[in-house]
Amino acid sequence: MAMKERIVNLGEIVVTDDPETVLAVPGIGSCVVVCVFHPRTCLAGMAHIVLPSSQGRSEVSTKPFWFADIAVPHLLESMKMKGAIRPNCAIVGGAKVLNFSSMATNTSVANIGELNVKSVLENLNGSVNLVAQIVGGNTGFSIRLQVADGILFIKDKEGQIRQVNLSLPRMEG
């Protein structure tokens, strides 16, 4: 079966059950990517989150899915509408990749990755089976989620690849 890669861009949500698709994000730093897979429906989804909160942000009207507080609920609702209740989930990213040591900084900007992780976890709100959190650190990742089998590949900057199996059966009904 020929695989086709579908890049999930900044502030984008993709939900698919096409087994020939691989959802991919070639570079994740302070952003957080929420990866979900539902074993029974073989439905996969991904949200590429840039900022933790839409509160007071003018970009909301043009880029609503940049924000964890909008994107996470929308991703889960999109999965639910296609029969995928309480999917397995992994979150990746939230690194501290910006170095502000040479200047006075707004701590919320310096810690944007950490704030993104916190907001994503709050917005998941126990509605998924959280299988893995590969977050923090000082370097980014690239990821690929195979829709056919729910295997998530996470590659760090040193080229090391980790695998997370999101297709494991759910513990509850």
- Residue 43 CA to residue 81 CA, distance in Å, equals 11
Beta-strand relationship, 141-146 and 129-135? unpaired
**Left if phi > 0, otherwise alpha if psi is -120 to 50, otherwise beta: which for 45?**
beta
Q: For the segment 84-125, what is each residue's pLDDT rounded down to a tens digit?
A: 999 999 999 999 876 655 444 455 566 899 999 999 999 999
The per-residue pLDDT for 97 is 77
Residue bearing tokens 């691989």: 22
- Residue 165 CA to residue 173 CA, distance in Å, equals 19
Half-sphere exposure of 11 (CA within 13 A, CB side): 13
Does this model's pTM top 0.85? yes
The per-residue pLDDT for 168 is 81
Angle ∠(133,115,170) on CA atoms, nearest 5: 30
Q: How big is the chain by its Cα radius of gyration, in Å?
A: 16
- Both ends of the chain: CA-CA distance in Å? 31
Residue bearing tokens 């999101």: 166
Residue ranges, the chain, pLDDT below 50: 102-105, 171-173
The per-residue pLDDT for 110 is 64
The per-residue pLDDT for 103 is 47
